[in-house]
Amino acid sequence: MRLPLVFIIILLIVAIVVDFLILKSIDCCMSRSKRRGWKIFSWILMALGYGLIVAIFFIPVRNESANILPVMWLLFSFLSIYIPKIIYLLFWGVGELIAKLRKKTDFSGRKDIPQKALTLTGLVLAVATFFMFWFGVFFTRRSIEVNTEEVVSSRIPASFNNYKIVQFSDAHVGTWGEDTTFVSALVEKVNGLNPDLIVFTGDIVNRRTDELRPFLRVLSRLKARDGVYSVLGNHDYGDYIDWKKPEDREINNRLLAQWEKKMGWHLLNNEHVFLRRDNDSIVLIGVENWGEAPFPEYGKLREAYPASRDSINNLNDERFKVLLTHNPEHWSREVLKISNIDLSLSGHTHAMQMMVSLGKWKWSPSKFKYSRWGGMYEEKNPSGYPMMLYVNIGTGEVGLPTRMGSAYPEITEFILKHK
pLDDT band at 114 (very low <50, low <70, confident <90, very high): confident
Which positions ≥6 away from 240 have C-beta within 8 Å? 62, 206, 207
Strand order through the sheet with 361-363: 361-363, 354-358, 404-405
What is the arithmetic mean of pLDDT over 174-182? 97
- 231 near 284, Cβ under 8 Å? no
Beta strands in 252-400 (DSSP E): 265-267, 271-277, 280-286, 321-324, 343-346, 354-358, 361-363, 375-380, 386-391
For residue 295, the model assigns a pLDDT of 75
Name residue 413's beta-bridge partners: 148, 166
pLDDT band at 35 (very low <50, low <70, confident <90, very high): confident
Query: What is the percent of the chain where pLDDT is above 90?
Result: 77
145-418: CATH, from 2.60.40, 3.60.21, 1.20.120, 3.30.450 = 3.60.21
| Choice among 27-31, 261-265, 394-398 with the minimum mean pLDDT | 27-31
What is the arithmetic mean of pLDDT over 303-320? 91
What is the arithmetic mean of pLDDT over 34-58? 89
pTM beyond 0.75: the answer is yes
Q: How many CB atoms lie within 10 A of CB 355?
A: 22
pLDDT band at 109 (very low <50, low <70, confident <90, very high): low
Domain boundaries, the chain: 5-138, 145-418
| Choice among 142-151, 239-248, 404-413 with the minimum mean pLDDT | 239-248
For residue 104, the model assigns a pLDDT of 67
Residue 110 pLDDT exceeds 60? no
Average pLDDT for the chain: 92
What is the arithmetic mean of pLDDT over 7-32? 88
